[in-house]
Amino acid sequence: MAATTSESEKKQEEGAEAEQVVNPWEVSAKGKIDYDKLIDRFGCQRLDQSLISRLHRLTSRLPHVFLRRGVFFAHRDFADILDAYERGDKFYLYTGRGPSSEALHLGHLIPFMFTKYLQDAFKVPLVIQLTDDEKFMWKNLTIEESQRLARENAKDIIACGFDISKTFIFADFSYVGGSFYKNMLEVAKRVTYNQAVGIFGFTGEDHIGKVSFPPVQAVPSFPSSFPHLFSGKENLRCLIPCAIDQDPYFRMTRDVAPRIGCHKPALIESLFFPALQGETGKMSASDPNSAIYVTDSAKDIKNKVNKHAFSGGQDSIEKHRQLGANLEL
């Protein structure tokens, strides 16, 4: 009887997993995204009020609205970063963007707006990776088009107002080599194909370019990848603000880091910014009607909201006047 119950529980778990897909390239669910399940599945921690209060005390700044409203809700070793800061040890920030659209949309802005707050609060350096190589491998784009989109996206990122004396933005096609490439190989040599399949879900149909990519996103976590910025500071810790779908890259990175003599990167992770159509997916560049872009005109935004936005409104004006909105939606 016990075995039957166990099998039934396993089937339920597998069913729940099938109902929501969250990985670096796809986010979808049959209902709302279950973030508690994601925390359990990925093995990160919920960001609690005590950490937010401690951040407030250490920086003497009101915590960002994304913290106060739970938009950034999970972390890995964020307490260690605060410990280091309290001791007077430095750290740096790392975030990035996969350029697959002409401009950033509101969902893309979330990590950059929050990273700016962290840079201002802690007065620390920041590296921003533009993974134009990743988009060439995952999307139907030429190398030249991927590079062009990276430059266009860089303009939107710069407009977020980062401290130019403490910020380095680089695109993979232009930058990968030297110390960065050495660290990529150190990581690649320590991750088996079976581990990569387990973490990222690669299949036999995926080309080897995809399988080879994760070390590229891993190594900006290590200061030795940037000798022109951090020479003699190879012991710096790294904090990565990102959406939780990027967590698999850094689970892999954190597993490898101690084996190559590096600190594990710390993460602070956000919810997904919902698509206009509702909370079963995230705003996505692959569906322009799901997203509001920073380059959209007021008229474009009005049309998108009127035509595509999911709301609690009833099917007809008459019904809406009679019943009002469904506020749960």
Q: Give the max Cα distance, the chain.
A: 70
Residues 269, 177: Cα–Cα separation, whole Å: 29
Where do the structural domains in the chain lie, given as residue ranges? 33-275, 298-329
Question: Phi then psi for 165, rounded to 5 degrees?
Answer: -80, -10
Report percent pLDDT > 90 for the chain.
75
Give every CB contact of residue 25 below 8 A, 6+ residues apart in sequence: 138
Check whether 49 has a pLDDT greater than 60. yes
How do strand 126-130 and strand 26-29 relate by DSSP bridges? unpaired
At CB < 8 A and 24+ separation, what contacts does 81-90 make?
81/237, 81/239, 81/266, 82/51, 82/54, 82/55, 82/58, 84/237, 85/58, 85/122, 86/58, 89/237, 90/124, 90/233, 90/236, 90/237
Mean pLDDT over residues 54-82, rounded?
97
Q: For residue 44, what are the β-bridge partners?
A: none
Query: Which one-letter DSSP state was computed for residue 128?
Result: E
pLDDT in tens, 106-127: 999 999 999 999 999 999 999 9
Residues 317, 323: Cα–Cα separation, whole Å: 10
pLDDT in tens, 122-166: 999 999 999 999 999 999 999 999 999 999 999 999 999 999 999
Average pLDDT, the chain: 90
**Residue 124 near residue 92, CB atoms below 8 Å:** yes
Check whether 44 has a pLDDT greater than 70. yes
Token pair 């370019």 is found at: 209
Q: For residue 282, what are the β-bridge partners?
A: 274
Residues 231, 125: Cα–Cα separation, whole Å: 13
The length of the chain is 329
pLDDT in tens, 218-235: 999 999 999 999 999 999
Write down the CATH number for the domain with range 33-275: 3.40.50.620
